[in-house]
Each structure stands twice: as C-alpha cells, then as structure tokens.
Amino acid sequence: MAKVNIKIEGHPYQVEEGLTILEAARECGYEIPTLCSFNHGECSLASCRVCLVEATGARGLVASCVYPVNEGMEITISSPKAVNARRASVELLLSNHSMNCQQCDKNGHCELLYVAQITGAREGKYLGSKTPTTVDELSPSIVRDTSKCILCGRCVARCVAAHGIGILGFEKRGFNTIVAPAANRSFAESPCLQCGQCVNVCPTGALMEKSEINLVDKAKMEGKFVVVQTAPAVRATLGEEFGMPIGTPVTGKMVAALKRLGFDRVYDTNFGADLTIMEEATELLNRVKNGGVLPMITSCSPGWINYAEYYYGDQLDHLSSCKSPHQMQGAIIKSYFAEKNGLDPKDIFVVSIMPCTAKKFEKSRDQFKHDGITDVDAVLTTRELAKLIKRSGINFTKLPDEEFDQDIMGEYSGAGVIFGATGGVMEAALRTAYFVLEGKEHEAIKFEQVRGMKGLKEASFKLGGIDIKVAVASGMRNAKVLLDQIREGKSPYTFIEIMCCPGGCINGGGQPYVKPQFLPNEDLNILDTYREKRANALYSEDERLTLRQSHNNSQIKDLYAKFLGEPNSEKAHHLLHTTYNKTRVRFPEK
Amino acid sequence: MAHLSASAVKQITEIVKRYENERTPLMMILSAIQSEYGYIPLDVQELVSDLTGIPVAEIYGVVTFYSFFSLNPKGKYVVGVCLGTACYVKGGQSIIDKFSELLGVKPGETTPDGLFTLSALRCIGACSIAPAVSINGKVYPKMTVGKVQEVIDEYRKLGGAN
Amino acid sequence: MVKTEKDLELTAKSCAKNLEDKFSGASGKIAVLICSGTGCLATGAKDILATFQEEIKNRKLEAKVEASKVGCFGFCSQGPFVKIMPKNIVYRGVKASDVSEILEKTVLGDEIIERLLYVDPVTKEKVSKLEDMAFYKKQIKVALYGCGIINPEDINEALGYGAYQGLKRALHMDPQEVINEVLTAGLRGRGGGGFPTGRKWQFAHDQVSDEKYVVCNGDEGDPGAFMDEGILEGNPLGVIEGMTIAGYAIGAKQGYFYVRAEYPTAVARLRNAIKQAEEMGFLGNNILGSNFSFNIGIRLGAGAFVCGEETALLNSIEGKRGMPRPRPPFPAVKGLWQKPSIINNVETLACVPFILREGASKFNALGTEKSKGTKVFALGGKVNNVGLVEVPMGITLRELIYDIGGGIPNGKKFKAIQTGGPSGGCLTEKDLDTPIDYDNLIAKGSMMGSGGAIVMDEDNCMVDVAKFYMDFICDESCGKCSPCRIGTKRMLEILNKITDGKGTLADLDELEELAQVVKANSVCGLGQTSANPIVSTMKQFKDEYMAHIVDKKCPAHVCKSLMKYVIVADKCKGCTLCARNCPVNAISGTVKQPHVIDQSKCIKCGLCQSNCRFDAIIKE
C-alpha cells in the first residue's frame, strides 16, 4: 500500500493511503471522538458530526470518519473552531436525548456520555422540545427506547451486515426521524431474530437487553430452589466486565461468584452440550442410515431458529429436533435432578447465564412448557451477570477459582466448551461421530478445518467408509447461502452447523460491549481481533481438560443408564427434543 | 398481508413487474402504487418487500420520507394549499388556517366523512397567481380568505358522487 | 427518421420553412397561439384552447385558422395569453368566453379588442405587441429558447427553430473540445452553487469507467420558484439536447431526468419530447450517423426538498431515502450506482445547445466578468409583473423589480427582495443598483440560488419570513445529521418564541450561535445554508427583531400574538357585515353605529377585514 505524508497537529507522519483521517489519526496516537462511525466503515453515515476536524484542502470542517487523507494534508484536531464544533454537535444531540443517565443501564458503557465528557459539553445547552418517543418492551429479548437514540445507524447497518434482513430502518424524516422496525412495530411483531447484535453496537441505551434480574430476585425471595447454569461462551468474556484483557477465561472465578450470589446449585451448560451431542449425533447417524432428511442442521442457536422459522419455513425438516443445550439441561434439572433430590419441579427455578438475548425469547417458547413447567425460568446475559456481581459487592478479580457443583451434572467435556465458537458444535459432533463410525477416538482430537472466524467454512471427511461433507455458517447472511442451496436441492452437505451471531456465541448479543474507547489497554484493532481472542479462551480450556469428547462424559452415561435409556429414546424425545413452527407469521396483523 | 385481496396482490405484482427492467425501481414502484391506490399501506409494502427482496423497514423508511407517499387513504378531495414563498408572502397561511377552521381538520388530516384531506403544499409552481389552492389538480388562483367557504361548498355539493 | 447530418439539414430546412410560413401567414392560415405554461393553464388556458378548436371546427375554419399551444410567455400574472399571427396581436387575461369574439373580430376581422390588451402600469398605455411591453424589453431567451413561439409538444417546430444544431456541431468535435467550449463560454451551474459546468464535466470525463451517467436535476425545490418548470414545459427538447451533448462530452450512454412529481405538465411534455426524439433518432444508437449512442430515462421525485441536493437525488434514484452522502467521493468519481456521474440543473443543460449552436463567444458576451450568459428568475411576491424572466447576468435588481417587474403594487413601499430561496437571503433598498451575478449576491449576504426572486413590501414581517423559511427547512431536513436535524428545530423554536412575544435578547445570541453551528457542522448544503435567511434578516432588519423582543410589537402587523384588529370608529358605517360573519362572535355593535372587536374573543382570522367595504378595520 502506498504511503502518504500528512501532518497532525503540526507533527509529520506517514500513513497508508486510503485511510480516513480518523483511522490515520488513531494510528498516529490521536483519538478523535466519534459516535456514528463504527468498525472500519461498517457504519459510516458521517451523520453525528462529532468527529469534525480541520484539514487543508477541504472547505470548512470535515468529518474525519469518512474523509480520506491525502498527500501533504495538514490536520488540526485541537483548533478552537474544531473543538467548538465537536462540542456543539454533542450538545445538540444531548438536547434531544433522554437525560436519565444515572438510571440508564448503559451507564458506564455509554459512548454519548463519553464524548460529552471529552468534548466538554455544557449543561442545559440548546434545550428544547424532544422527538416523540417510543419505548418497545414487548419483546422478551430487546428493549428499544427511542428517547435515547442518536440515529447513528449502527444497528441498521449491523442487522444488514450480519443477517442481511434489515429489521431496523430509519423512519419519517427531519426532527421526527426514528430508527425502528417497519411501521415502528415492536421487535416482537417483526421477523426479528432477537439476536441482540444491534444491542452490541448501540452507543447509547436506546437498544438494551430486557433485564430479567428482577425475576431471579423474586424467585429467591419466594424461597425457590434456584439452579443456575452457565453457557460455555460466558467464561470467555465475563472477565472483560471487570477490566480483564479480552480473551481471559474466568471459569473458576465465575463459579466462585455464582456461589457467593446464593444459587442453590451452580452447573455448567456444557453438560447440556454433551447431552446435545449425544442426541444430535445419534439423530444424524439415524438420518444417514435410514434415508432421513439431509443435510441436518444444528438447532442450538435460538436466533438461527427464529430465522429458519421466519424465512425458511419450508425447510424446517432439515433442523435437528434437539433442544438447545440449556433447554435440555433445564428439562433434566426439572425431571431427573428434581426426582433425585426429592424436589417438586414447581419449586425449582432454573436460571441460564447466556451470551445471548435470543435465549430469553427461546425459554418462553410454547414448546418448552409442559404441564405448566418451563425448562428454564430466567435467562441473564453475560452483562446482566456482571451487574448482579457488582451489585452484590463481590470483588470479582480477587475471587479464588472454584469448581461447579459435581453432583449429577457436574462433569463436562472440552467438546462442550467449544460450543461457544463458530464450528464448535460441528467439531464436538465430529469427535463423537468419528468414535462411533471409526470405532476409536480421533487421535488429534481437534478438527482444525472447522475452526476460525470465517463466516462460511466447509470440510469433507471419510468416516467409517462414509463420505461426510460438512459446512459451518455464522451470521444469517452466510447461512442464507447454504439454505438457498438446500431449497434448490443442490446442497452437497450431510451436516451443517449454523450459529446466528457472526463468530458464534462468543460474539453473542448478550456479551460484554467491545468499545475501543473504553478499552485503553487493548490493541488498536481490537474490533478485528476480539472474536478470535474470545474463541481462543475456549479452545485453551478444551486443551486443558482431559475429558474432551461428549461420549466419554461419565455422568452423561449415567444419565442414560439410570434415566433416559438411550439417545433418541422415547423419554429422551419427550424431554430433549422439540418441534418448530412452520407457519410462523412474519408480520402479525395488528 | 393476510387481508390483501387476491386481485390487489395480482395488481401490485403487475406493478412491480412493470419496472423489472429498471435499475433500483423502488421509487417508481411506490409512485405507481400511490397514484393507482391513493396510498401505500403496510401490508402492500410487505408484499413489495417479498417481491423485490428489499427489507420492509427500508421500504417503510422510503414511504415515510417522501411527502407524496401516504400510509392512509386520502379524502375524495385533496385540498392542497400552497405555502411556497410567493403564496406565503401573499397570505397563504391565512388561507390554510381558514380551510382548517372550516373543515375542522389540521393540515395532513382527513375529514371524518372522508370527503376532504387538507394538505400544505410546498410550491406548485403557480407563483404568478399566488396564493394558489389546488384541489385534485384543479388550481384556484388568487385565493382569498373570503372565497374559502365558497370553494368548500362547491365540493360539498358534488359530495361523494363520482 | 433523422439518421445522418444530411437528414437533419433537410428536415431542419423544411421545418423552418413551415414555421416561418405559420407566422408569416404564408401557410394561408392565421395562427392562434395559446400560452400553455402552468400559470396560464391554471387560469383557464386549457379551456381557451379547447374552445378555439371547437369553434374552428364548428365554423369550419380549419383551412383558415389554426390554434396551437406555445410554451410559457413568462408574463404569468397577466395570463392567459393568446397571440395571433401574423397580425402580431397579443391578448392577456383571456377567458374561454372571449374566444368567439376574438375569432370574429380579430382573427377573421381586423378589429382589436381593447379590453384584452395589456395596459402599461406606468404609462397607462395599451400595448398590443409583446416586444413593446416593458416586461420583455430587457429579456434574452437562451434557456427559455422558443418559449412563447413554438409548440413545445411538436419536435418539428423545434427543429425549425434550431433544435439539434448544437448537438450536430458537438459531434464534429472531440469530447474534450466540447468541454473546452463550455469552459470558454463560462457557464456556471444554475442550480445555486454556480460551479463551472465545464469543470464538472471535465472531472467525469477524466474518469475511466465502463458506465457513466448524466443526471438532470429537475427537483426544483425552492418554494416560490418555477424556472425549471417553465423551461421543461416550454423548451423540453433544449434540455434533452443539452443532456445529450453532456453525455457525449463525458462519455456517458445513459441520462436520467429527476423531476418533481408536482410538475405534471412538465413531466408530460418531457416524456413526449423524449419519445419524439427517440422516434426521430436523436436518442438511441449512432445518433446522426456518429458512433455516439445515448438514451434517457425519467425518474420522479416524491416530495422531498432535500433531493435537490445532488447526492440525495442520487440516493432517491437508487430507491433510497433522499439522505445526502458524505463527500468525497464526489459524484463525478462515484455517483449514480457508484459510477462517475454529473448532475446538472435543468437551466444549465438548457443553456448548452445555445453555446454549441451559437458558439461560446456569443454566450460569454452576455453577463459579467465571472458570471456569463443569462439567468432565469421567477419574479414573484409583491411586484406588479409576476412571471418568468430571462435576463443577462449583470442586470441590476432595480431593473428587475421596477423595469421588468413594474414596481410594487398598491403604492406600497419596497422592503426587500429574497433570492436563493431557503438557502439565500434578503437584499434591500441599498442593494438595488448592484449588478446581479453569483459573486455579488454572495458578497451581499444572499445567493443566486436557482432563481427565485420574491419581492416583499412593508406589509411583510421579516422575522416572520425568517420563520417561514426555517419552518420549511425544519420540515424538509432529512434528519440524517444532528446539526441540521436538531439545530434547525432549535432555531425554529426560538423564532416561534420571538414571534409569540416571548423572546429575550439572549435568544438573539443563541440564534446567532446556532446559525454558526448548523452552518459549520452540517453534512450538506441544505443544512449548511439553512440559517442564511435568519442571518440575513437579523443583519438587515435587526430593528424588527428588537421590536418583537423589546417592544413586543410586530411592525408589519403580521405576527398574530403581537397584533390586533381594531375598528376605526370614524370609518365604520355600522353595516354589521363584519359582526354577522365573525366566526367567534367577537364583534358587537348596533346597526349604523361603530362596531367594536372584543380582543379576548378575537382569533385574528382577518375575515372581518377582508369583508369590510369601508376599510374601517385595521391591524395595529
């Protein structure tokens, strides 16, 4: 790449041609405040006007997030003109903003508040009327409060970039402009995946997960027997909420914290993941042997299930009938565990700590309720767990490492751990399939072909004389490619893993926010590397474990021997499998 | 979409097809629907979304951006009072105020009997005969506050008859 | 079909002959030309034409008389116009009921109908020829070429009047030579900014790309301006020819018109002209036997002022919300569908055939040092002669308002002329002798804009005018960038406060501050210029702002909260008309006694004043 010579604040630098002023300045050690710009132009409307600087060769101030550097350009960030302009842009935004910052759940992660501080926004400047507000709380997963929206467009761009469905858009114009699903409907009345990718990129509190901390509090107060389980991807990210570097696994501290929070049992959803592999691998082999519908597609990701139901209702037979791991585990807790402990399932309250907002929706699906008993009663995101920990006065970083409760469902394999990264379920299934079809363990254990952050991956194996071609997709934009092949009858695959969020659950919509301005000790390009770092935290835990295949989990074997019979048995079907809604309406009539 | 009639679905499909050789024809499609139906309700937008692959949120965003597109049916007679500069400096505001008072609706609204929609227009290019009022395309030049009742009565008399 | 230059030569010759015969009477027919611009159409021109045609048919005069449309005469406030050739008699203010009389007396006979003649407001003399009217004396038709003369729906008349001679010459030149010609002519963008057209073309010409586009911006947004409408209605083929030449110059094969949907007549004429040009071979493949091929499509706006901004316009054609794009990249590099594109205003393109046909030197002989050629203005507001005028650059405002415009009606006092629409500013008495060109207007705190020129008199409140424009901009702001979306709202709120009589002196400082912020911080021209009407009126009419804020008075009696209607007892005859018609029963009094308005009930609708036959009701 050619280099150009520029000056910033009078100092000469050489930077790559084609960079925006914002990117070039960042590389040279300057941080120009910005709101709407996000992740290398993923969103680049240049609409917030918070990154204005002076640059030679341009007429007036320029938006550094879109204006490219060129040879000989002299950039001034600190001139009174630029400083005042940036401050005024922020003040105008604040004048049309709900100012309940103290009570806002985004407090501490709010980029608007951050730029207000660094630009020196003055209190009460330019006050006036406000754009009429909509607060959408109908969805079990996401709350949208337009009074906090600054119309940066990041969420609109993310929904399209990740899934290609564009649930959110700009509506109306001028001062009345809002960002909303079509017709300002609720997320609950739109074909929204509830995945929370939009929440992850929202700079303010306009998009947030719907908190269920209150449900947990209530259950405890009512004296319920509260069992908590944590998804694999949570351990890879929870530390970030407490200032630890991205990619630090904190399994032990997380367990210690949960125990101090007074949960009656602390389990790992990895047990459920191992159980999923047993059921899913069996289902796959049955389909292969008996000429069932192929390719079979994983069903762990509720955002993906939503997508399948809304957009590929004609192809649902391809989905594995397996419930997702935490639903399986919830079902086992309320049956086998209850029985063993002499508890009435009605008195048990299952809390899942998930990297996901769609799980909040998933747990309330009709399919997961039997005789008034739900598999899972509350889903907290990684972020909510951090809040719970902070609220309880626990100094997370100083906690000792502790172990999950070991009774009945304490054991888990490395195969379960890697569920949290794209390709992880596939790899876990391959480990078990290899054993079943080849009659021995795969020596290398790893299946590198399905690892990595690429959105679409494929690999072929010959196992026990059978050719198996697999594909892995994350982000519905990528999944669509595979699904269209299936719809056209041209899919070459036997087994497909699909995860809703790009990169898998380590990048789920309930994971800690990755906002470079709040992460001064991370790499400059952290937005490019955080997914991989988080995934590596999971792969490293897998490496540390001695038990690395689901089928070798002795408590799973026990569970089958003592309770379920065998994988895909009638009882297993009743508790661990589900059905899908072929006629889900994308736009319910109002 | 559930309550769109089969014939409406057919007609809208035909409109979308009409522009299949045009690049990015969304505006053309919406203009055609607006002029043929008088409005573009959400379920029609959902159908257009299905037919074109454009997200319905994007279509809704376009419909609500341009003032020519309407989400609701308009009255039989659309009273457009020009508030372009030439008309404004010659008293256009008092004309629209009078219409508003006599029809009992604000600009942008439709009378309960569905007869009149009052709308404020931004220059219809009839500046020479300001202040101008346009009712279903018929232009009333050099309007005065005093003539408003008369004009309304003219259309009341025609009533709902076609 | 005109396939070669030779074809064009022959066709043009015979068309010119026909046209000449039509006007000279050599055709054996008397030609009745009826103005069919939007102004005249609105006041009955359509009926007039239909009545003429019906009468001609009924009286079996087909061989003797022919009635046809012509493009806008420009003198819209006097319309509808009817011109009779070769007698060269012009009637104004014609009604359908006059048709029979005109036919009998003037067309068949030799009698002039005095009451239909134009009366000069200054000399009070009756005038029967357009060229004798002061309104036309300083005008030169370049963009409005053929308006008032040829039928804009008939390509043959246009060909007889010089159409496609410019393209013919251009096709003999290199594209670069064509650009040089436009540069030499000194043509600058007529849409407002005044950017040299040739330079715009050069940028696009220099881009290497498989596809390029010419886009004509006909989204005339300035409320109170109808230049582009007049040009598209009266000279559609000129704009098409200009676009074709532009296409040749930059290497584009496709052009698009983006026209306001509010202009149905213009759109219909444009469609018709494109169709005729296609049929004749002026659009399509191998135009005039050259290697150059060009096609044109039409896209309609849907009611968004911001789409006059060129990148917003491109987004609109692309089926998106009309929100401006950040620049760079400029459209000449990445424009329509990310391909190199030029966006030229209607009037700009309409000037191009003249430049190529007559030569750059003839164009740049007109105008001032840096602003060449002519400019079309939509002269409106409080001026006697309202209409569309095309004058050489450099004419003074005084000439425009008084010589052409005939001064201010009803003996009122001139207060200001607003140019540049919502992006422009006001010019006052002291600026009247300033020659009009791009740079002078900017130096005076206004701008050329697209050509709207609204005259205001003493009855106009300048704070209210500023509020009008701010209300417009606030309504039309696309909402994308925060300074424009929120800043214009804040400015409007302050102006509302002031006109409601609740303003404070601190509000003026806040207005000034906001004006600067919105200007410096906004993404596009709409936002950057949105405060101009405020800045300009605050500078020129500070006393009016002060009167609203300090004295709580609106000197022009416009702002409702700061004025009241009162009955002058001396003048009131007690006819009770006002009291009977008052919608809120605020007026009381006995018959033949002076009446009184109860100010606590009055809603200031003004009905009483417009009804009073004795001028007894005044505002104060």
Asked if the Cβ–Cβ distance from C607 to B98 is below 8 Å, we say yes
Contacts of A169 in chain B (CB under 8 A): 55, 57-58, 60-61
- State residue C395's pLDDT score: 95
Asked if the Cβ–Cβ distance from A172 to C479 is below 8 Å, we say yes
Q: What is the per-residue pLDDT across C536-594, written as a single tens digit (0 to 9) for each?
A: 999 999 999 999 999 999 999 999 999 999 999 999 999 999 998 887 889 999 999 99
Choose the closest CB to C486 out of A66, A81, A175. A175
Express as a percent the part of chain A with pLDDT over 70. 100
Cα–Cα distance, B16 to B33 (Å, whole number): 9
Q: Would residue A100 count as lying in a domain?
A: no
In this prediction, residue A590 has a pLDDT band, given cuts at 50, 70 and 90, of: low
Q: What is the per-residue pLDDT across A292-301, written as a single tens digit (0 to 9) for each?
A: 999 999 999 9
Q: Is the domain of A303 the same as that of A426?
A: yes
Express as a percent the part of chain A with pLDDT over 90. 94
Q: Is the domain of A339 the same as that of A442?
A: yes
Choose the closest CB to A173 out of C478, C490, C523. C478
Q: Is the pLDDT of residue C156 over 70?
A: yes
Q: How many CB atoms lie within 10 A of CB A527?
A: 17
| CA-based R_g, chain A, Å | 25
Task: Out of 3.30.70.20, 3.40.630.40, 2.40.160.40, 3.30.1490.20, select the CATH number for domain C564-619.
Answer: 3.30.70.20
Contacts of B83 in chain C (CB under 8 A): 223
Rounded mean pLDDT, C364-387 = 94
Query: What is the bridge-based pairing of β-strands C254-259 and C213-218?
Result: parallel
The interface pTM score, or ipTM, of the predicted complex is 0.93
Residue bearing tokens 């009698």:
C111
Q: Would residue A585 count as lying in a domain?
A: no
- State residue B162's pLDDT score: 44
Choose the closest CB to B85 out of C263, C317, C418. C418
- State residue A330's pLDDT score: 97
Q: Is the domain of A283 the same as that of A393?
A: yes
Asked if the Cβ–Cβ distance from B57 to A182 is below 8 Å, we say yes
Q: Residue A35: which of A181, A150, A184, A195 has the closest Cα?
A: A150
Domain CATH code at residue A474: 3.40.50.1780
Rounded mean pLDDT, A521-538 = 95
Domain CATH code at residue A152: 3.30.70.20
The domain made up of C163-364 has a fold known as Rossmann fold (3.40.50)
Cα–Cα distance, A74 to A413 (Å, whole number): 57
Q: Residue A436: which of A459, A466, A457 has the closest Cα?
A: A466
- State residue C223's pLDDT score: 81
**At a CB cut-off of 8 Å and minimum separation 6, what does A106 contact?**
A148, A202, A204, A205, A208
Choose the closest CB to C226 out of B97, B125, B145. B125
Contacts of A121 in chain C (CB under 8 A): none
Q: Is the domain of A171 the same as that of A225?
A: no
Cα–Cα distance, C302 to B63 (Å, whole number): 9
Q: Is the domain of A191 the same as that of A275?
A: no
Domain C19-133: which CATH class?
Answer: alpha beta
Residues of chain C that touch chain A, judged by Cβ-Cβ distance less than 8 Å: 304, 321, 323, 326, 328, 474-483, 485-490, 493, 510, 514, 517, 520-523, 528
Judge whether A183 is closer than 8 Å to chain B, CB to CB: yes
Cα–Cα distance, C514 to C524 (Å, whole number): 16
Q: Which residue has the higher pLDDT, C374 or A588?
A: C374
Interface with chain A: mutation pick from B30, B44, B56, highest number of A CBs within 10 Å: B56
Interface with chain A: mutation pick from B64, B70, B71, highest number of A CBs within 10 Å: B64
- Exposed (0-12), middle (13-18) or buried (19+): which is C434, by Cβ within 10 Å? middle
In this prediction, residue A106 has a pLDDT band, given cuts at 50, 70 and 90, of: very high
The domain made up of C462-551 has a fold known as de novo design (two linked rop proteins) (1.20.1440)
Q: Is the domain of A203 the same as that of A228?
A: no
- State residue A533's pLDDT score: 97
Judge whether B85 is closer than 8 Å to chain C, CB to CB: yes
Number of domains in chain A: 3
Judge whether A171 is closer than 8 Å to chain C, CB to CB: no
Rounded mean pLDDT, A27-34 = 95
Q: Is the pLDDT of residue B160 over 80?
A: no
Q: Is the domain of A198 the same as that of A233?
A: no
Residue bearing tokens 């069903």:
A299
Hey, CA dihedral for C417, C420, C422, C423, is it positive or negative?
negative
- State residue B129's pLDDT score: 82
Give partners of B (≥3 CB pairs < 8 A).
A, C
Choose the closest CB to C479 out of A85, A129, A175. A175
Rounded mean pLDDT, A559-578 = 96
- Exposed (0-12), middle (13-18) or buried (19+): which is C476, by Cβ within 10 Å? buried
Choose the closest CB to B57 out of A181, A585, A586. A181
Asked if the Cβ–Cβ distance from A92 to C486 is below 8 Å, we say yes
- State residue A488's pLDDT score: 97
Express as a percent the part of chain C with pLDDT over 70. 100
Ranges in chain C annotated CATH 3.40.50.11540: 163-364
Asked if the Cβ–Cβ distance from A150 to C486 is below 8 Å, we say no
Judge whether A171 is closer than 8 Å to chain B, CB to CB: yes
Cα–Cα distance, A326 to A323 (Å, whole number): 8
Ranges in chain C annotated CATH 3.40.30.10: 19-133
Judge whether A128 is closer than 8 Å to chain C, CB to CB: yes
- Whether the model clears a pTM of 0.80, i.e. scores above it, the answer is yes
Judge whether C80 is closer than 8 Å to chain B, CB to CB: no
Q: Is the pLDDT of residue B141 over 90?
A: no
Cα–Cα distance, C155 to C163 (Å, whole number): 8
Rounded mean pLDDT, C395-418 = 95
Judge whether A491 is closer than 8 Å to chain C, CB to CB: no
Question: Bridge-partner residues for A4, per DSSP?
Answer: A15
Q: Would residue A396 count as lying in a domain?
A: yes
Q: What is the per-residue pLDDT across B78-114, written as a single tens digit (0 to 9) for each?
A: 999 988 888 888 888 989 999 999 999 999 899 999 8
Asked if the Cβ–Cβ distance from C77 to B83 is below 8 Å, we say no
In this prediction, residue B161 has a pLDDT band, given cuts at 50, 70 and 90, of: very low
SS3 (DSSP) at C67: strand
* d(CA A220, nearest CA chain B) in Å: 41
Which residue from C minimizes the CA distance to A95? C486
Q: Is the domain of A202 the same as that of A284?
A: no
Q: Is the pLDDT of residue C597 over 80?
A: yes
Task: Select from A164, A191, A209 the last residue of a domain.
Answer: A209
Q: Is the domain of A279 the same as that of A366?
A: yes
Decide yes or no: CATH 3.10.20.600 for domain C374-457: yes
Contacts of C521 in chain A (CB under 8 A): 49, 52, 61, 85, 88-89
Q: Is the domain of A262 the same as that of A191?
A: no
Choose the closest CB to B98 out of C42, C381, C605. C605
A496 in Cβ contact with A295 (< 8 Å): yes
Q: Is the domain of A140 the same as that of A57?
A: no
Q: Is the pLDDT of residue A286 over 60?
A: yes
Task: Select from A93, A113, A143 the last residue of a domain.
Answer: A93
**What domain range includes position A36?**
3-93
Choose the closest CB to C316 out of B27, B85, B126. B27
Contacts of B44 in chain A (CB under 8 A): none
Domain CATH code at residue A75: 3.10.20.740
Cα–Cα distance, C586 to C603 (Å, whole number): 9
Cα–Cα distance, C191 to C451 (Å, whole number): 8
Rounded mean pLDDT, C394-415 = 94
Contacts of C584 in chain B (CB under 8 A): none
Task: Select from A158, A177, A209 the last residue of a domain.
Answer: A209
